[in-house]
Amino acid sequence: MSIFTRVRDATEWRVVRRTISPGPGPSPETKRRRIKQVRISLAKVLISFLVLAMALPVSGETITIDNTSGTPTIAKALLYAGDNGTVVLRPGIYFENSIVLENSATITADKSAGYGAEDTIIDAEQSGRIFDAAGYSLSIDNLTFRNGKADHGGAIYLDSGTLSVTSSVFANCSADYGGAIFSDTDSTVTVISSAFTNCSAINSGGAILSGFNSTVTVVSSAFTNCSAVNTGGAIYIFSGTLNTTSTAFFSCSASSYSGGAIYSSSFSPVTITSSSFTGCSSPCRGGAICSYKGGSMHFCRIYNCSLEAPAVYSHNNFDASENWWGTNTDPSGFSEGSVRYDPWLVLGVATSSVTVATGETSVIRANLTHDVNGIDTSGNGLLPDGIPVTFDLAAGLGNLSVTGGEIAGGANGTIFTAAGSGLVTVTAKADGQTVGTFTMVTS
């Protein structure tokens, strides 16, 4: 083999040709061995690549698991499902906690097989928070979360993300802030047809606490026996908005300060419609609601929430007209601050026939669809269904088809059957108010 080399001769460069013997090459056996090693190395690289590809989550997959040994945990199933994937939980109790989301996801009971929150349960055993969803979107459907415990959000922690909860239950969850759900910054929380029971906070937000610039929407849900030591026995809103529709608050309390059911700061207006507050309490401001920013509340039931402090308090303008306060009389004692409660709704009762003969009938109908001025408000909205109403034959002869029920669609009724002549009085009672109507029975 020849090569050319530049050498310096006296004062100039010149190119010289040199011949080098190539020497003996590798033997055929060595060549075969080297080719085999290269092939093995390439195969190992390919296998490693395939294993890595299989381990990485595939976007948008649906993974179904159960709680038996040998199946993936919820955390691993979420990873396998990939971004915007779905994890379906078969019925059972999953004893898991401290699950940190690494992508957006949906977690649901096996609804296609007829299962739901009553038989699909994630139990943290008071050992930690159930989900940390910071930075992601999480959708929960038909599940029960119980015994979650943390400093912020006993069941779910959310930050700069979106949380959607449907037909689910939060039970016995606790935290320093936000007993069940803590929404930190720039987040959106939507709760539909769900229940929060016995959730508590050492500080504020017994069930839900919303932090900076966040929006909370609650529809057709219930908060029962939720409590906070400081403010917001059920819900605390610091900076953002709260919209609540067709939701019930039972026996919620803030034991040392304000907002037995709801507390909103001076940065956060609230809008409440067709909801119910019963047996809620706080010792300072707002046995049911304390809203420093103001807002509005219409077609709501507020009853037995002024045992310590008046039921509703606001520092700014709060429109609380067209609500039922459990009485037909002036409800001014149930609110304080800048709260406008007039006009308020009143209980009424009427008979379909002012005169009937013995053996004939008349329909007695109680309603909560008129305000104190006699104006029918049903075209603008209705109180929540479920307000107990009782009927009584206070005077006269006859009988009633039913003596109790619940207000639905703003009304409830009974049928009076006359059994003897004379003036008959039938009364209806809802909460603390009783009203009556008269029917003349002829022989």
Q: Which amino acid is at 137?
A: S
260: pLDDT confidence band, cut at 50, 70 and 90? Answer: very high
Element (H, E) at 34: helix 28-55
Question: What is the spatial distance between Cα 303 and Cα 334, in angstroms, rounded to a whole number?
Answer: 9
* 278 vs 320: CA distance, rounded Å: 16
Q: Which stretches does DSSP call E strand in 352-432?
A: 355-357, 361-371, 388-395, 398-400, 404-406, 411-418, 422-430
How far apart CA 43 and CA 49 sit, in angstroms, is 10
Q: Tokens 């059920």 map to which residue?
A: 234
> Tokens 């019930």 correspond to what residue?
248
The SS3 assignment for 372 reads: coil
- Please say if the pLDDT value at position 29 is more than 60: yes
Strands 411-418 and 398-400: antiparallel
146, 124 Cβ separation under 8 angstroms: yes
CB contact at 8 A, 234 and 223: yes
pLDDT at 51 over 90: no
**Residues facing residue 374 across a β-bridge:** none
Length of the chain: 443
Please give the structure tokens belonging to residue 227.
């409590």
**Interval 276-320: pLDDT, tens:** 999 999 999 999 999 999 999 999 999 999 999 999 999 999 999
In this prediction, residue 443 carries a pLDDT of: 86
Cis peptide before 22 (omega within 30 of 0): no
| pLDDT per residue as tens digits for the range 165-197 | 999 999 999 999 999 999 999 999 999 999 999
Tokens of 364: 């007695």
| Residue 233 contacts residue 257 (beta carbons within 8 Å) | no
Cα angle 291, 247, 88 (rounded to 5 degrees) comes to: 120
Q: What is the largest CA-CA distance in the chain?
A: 151
Exposure string (b/e) for 264-283, b if CB count within 10 Å is 16 or more?
bbeebbbebbbbbbbbbbbe
pLDDT digits (tens, 9 = 90+) for 319-373: 999 999 999 999 999 999 999 999 999 999 999 999 999 999 999 999 999 999 9
When pLDDT is cut at 50, 70 and 90, the band that residue 28 belongs to is: low
Among 9-23, 126-140, 311-325, where is mean pLDDT lowest?
Answer: 9-23
In the three-class reduction of DSSP (H, G, I as helix; E, B as strand; rest coil), residue 79 is classed as helix
- Which amino acid, one-letter code, is at 240? G
Residue 351 identity: T
pTM for this one?
0.86
52, burial (CB in 10 Å: exposed 0-12, middle 13-18, buried 19+) = exposed
Q: Is the pLDDT of residue 126 over 60?
A: yes
d(CA 341, CA 321): 4
| Cα–Cα distance, 255 to 209 (Å, whole number) | 17
Cβ atoms < 10 Å from Cβ of 284? 16
- Give the pLDDT mean for 204-216: 96
- Please report which helix (H) or strand (E) contains residue 45, including its range: helix 28-55
